[in-house]
Structure 1
Amino acid sequence: MDAPPRSNTLRPGDPLAGLLEGPRARGAFMTRACFDPPWAVRVEDRAPLTVMLVVRGEAWVLPDRGERTRLRAGDLAIARGPDPYTCADDPGTAPQALILPGQECRHPDGRPLNGSMDLGVRTWGDRLDGATVMLIGTYPMQGEISGRLLDALPPLLALTSDVWDCPLTPYVAEEIVRDEPGQEVVLDRLLDLLVIAALRAWFARPEAEAPAWYRALADPVVGGVLRLLQDDPAHPWTVAALAAKAGVSRAALARRFTALVGEPPMTYLTGWRLALAADRLRDSEDTLDAVARRVGYGSAFALSTAFKRVYGVSPVEYRGRSA
């Protein structure tokens, strides 16, 4: 049995904070959908994450694989992409609209809808006072870091109003139809807050199956080491240095870290550094040398070698594809 840590140098990190570190919504797609039955919308936009909050009425979310979910007023669902799904008033209703990547909207036979269902600012559907009203927020891009969040979620999760009560709902409903300067940024932040509130409620439930690294953040030894690696990836960490910070032996840390996280500390650090580099390549104009130094590589060449080994393309090619 490993000896307990000999010091209080490290404290276990907040698991949810660790899970949510990384890219935030930027230019997210948000809309208010208003429908009268019968209605059904087929979603094939391949978005990494979509939030659906029912304000009035009810809706079914019908994934191609997995269990269908019925939502009532106050309920929320999060769909993890890229798998398609259908939203409808009833499981038997045939889709009347098809949502494709880029939020392109067509008839099921492929004909464009040409804005025929537009009802005003960020509002779409049959009529403004439809029997069912849903607030929908979609993250259009997946950053490499947010992949850790997606891995922690089932394909479709639902929170009913009896297990969560989100005070953001009225504010989101009010802001989603505003057309004022800076409104896109306001909605991005509101979507982030809505997701965080939902995930806090979800991960508090015993049936939520979090990934190994997420659970490990609560460990008094490994959680502190994970926090060090996440907060300062550019530091020249070694297992010996991490063990000293944690107050345990190198062997004890390596054994405990691998058992809880599923990979050794240095392997985890490499993955974290490369995820940060990928995100930086996509979201900034930093030179390759600057990105390398920022994430802990001594040169652009060293970063390129490691990056291509893991991602299969060079950093330059990755940046070009992201653009």
Structure 2
Amino acid sequence: MDVLSDVVAAMRTGRPHSARRYKYAPWGLRFAAADEAGFHVVLRGSAWLIPDGGEPVALAPGDVVFLAHGHGHALASGPDVPLQEVRMLPDGTWTSPPAGEPRAGCPDTVTLCGTYRLDRVRAHRLLAELPEVVHLPAQVGAHRSLRAAVELLGMELEESRPGTDAIVTSLLDTLLLYILRAWWEGERAAGRARGWAVALADPAVAAALRAIHGDPGRAWTVAELGAAGGLSRAAFARRFAALVGEPPLTYLTWWRMTTAGRLLRDDDLSLRQVAQRTGYASEFAFAKAFKREYGVAPGRYRRRTAS
């Protein structure tokens, strides 16, 4: 089981959205705080990312920025340009932002922007540990897979053709994984890695995480999880807690409940089937554990998330 893909799939809800924008200086857009994670890519020209309460970040062609926590921010042609509010619509898209006064010739800046709806109630440590702004500057030869995904996404958004909707959705999911991979690989290469960036690269802990994610319904013991990574029970328990931030069986329970929430939200499985897939012998035991974790019964949770 690919842990990174599994975590992203569990947290993301609804459809991601993206748009290619053409801008003429001066321009400035402010995005209010939301439950979404978002990204901006500068395809041509330059821009400034201005996080709420943070220092402006100059962006050059090819730069990618990812904002995982949904905090308010602005994107502008300069750090002192007046900003115009951009509102999110009920379908998850944004109102068409002003692009400045069009002039003859090419626009000053072309950007690619997108949003992902995330379940903040079940925020995974993997994403919670990310900084306010993930900035991936364009570098020759670096992040080639990410650059290829950006180019493909830009081409699909430039001209709608048969299959574009499905292709864009798939490319946005792919792009998110490439952004996260590029960030963690960069942190490890620079010697700044911590937490999940290290956990996913640690053979023993990564093997245990793959086992948990591959079969969350199994009655795992700490000894069995340690054996998956070739460590003794005690050595594994210490290493897992140090890197992941909690003991192995605590994480197993948390992941079972996260999986249960996803199954109730996205699948038509019966409560008994959900209970079996997440390691509970009876619907009663599952319902009790689920209500303790989510504050509502499984059936009510399913009805609420379906509306």
TM-score normalised over the length of structure 2: 0.83
Q: Which amino acid aligns with 1:161?
A: A
Structure 2 matches for 1:40-55, cutoff 5 A?
A: 40-44=28-32, 46-55=34-43
Residue of structure 2 in register with 1:174 after alignment:
155
| Structure 2 counterpart of 1:186, one-letter code | I
Aligned pairs for 1:20-169 within 5 A: 20=8, 22=10, 26-44=14-32, 46-100=34-88, 102=90, 103=92, 127=102, 129-142=106-119, 147-162=124-139, 163-165=142-144, 166-169=147-150
Inter-CA distance 104–184: structure 2 relative to 1 (3 Å threshold): closer
Identity %: 37
Alpha-carbon distance between aligned partners in 1 of 2:281 and 2:220, rounded to the nearest angstrom: 13
2:280 counterpart SS class: coil
Question: Which residue of structure 2 aligns with residue 255 of structure 1?
Answer: 238
The structure that is helix-richer by fraction is: 2
Q: Does 2:284 correspond to 1:297? A: no
Distance 1:181 1:140, change over 3 A: farther
Q: Quote the Cα distance in structure 1 between the aligned partners of 2:111 and 2:191.
A: 25
Q: CA deviation at 1:18?
A: 6.7
Tell me the distance in 2 between the aligned counterparts of 1:64 and 1:104.
Answer: 21
Relative to structure 1, the CA distance from residue 24 to residue 204 in structure 2 (aligned partners, 3 Å threshold; closer, same or farther) is same
Distance, in Å, in 1 between the alignment partners of 2:106 and 2:54 is 32
The count of aligned residue pairs is 297
Q: Kindly indicate whether structure 1 or structure 2 has the higher relative contact order, using CA contacts under 8 Å at least 6 residues apart.
A: 1
Task: Look up the match of 1:203.
Answer: 184
Per-residue deviation, 1:192: 2.0
Q: Which moved more, 1:203-212 or 1:164-173?
A: 203-212
Distance change (3 Å), C-alpha of 1:197 and 1:177: same
TM-score (norm. length: structure 1): 0.80
5+ long unaligned stretches in structure 1: 1-12, 107-114, 118-123
Partner of 1:6: none
Instruction: Assess, with a 3 A threshold, how the Cα gap between structure 1 residues 192 and 144 changes in structure 2: closer, same or farther.
Output: farther
Could you tell me how far apart the structure 1 residues matched to 2:101 and 2:119 are?
31
Distance change (3 Å), C-alpha of 1:125 and 1:146: farther
280 and 181 in structure 1: CA distance in 2 versus 1, 3 angstrom threshold: farther
Q: SS at the partner of 1:153?
A: coil
Between the aligned partners of 2:174 and 2:57, the Cα distance in structure 1 is 23
Residues 14 and 152 of structure 1, relative CA distance in 2, 3 Å threshold: farther
RMSD of aligned alpha carbons: 3.0
CA distance in structure 1 between the aligned counterparts of 2:119 and 2:63, rounded to whole angstroms: 25
1:314 pairs, out of 276, 297, 300, with 297
Query: Quick check: 238-247 or 158-167, which moved more?
Result: 238-247
How far apart are the structure 1 equivalents of 2:4 and 2:288?
A: 32
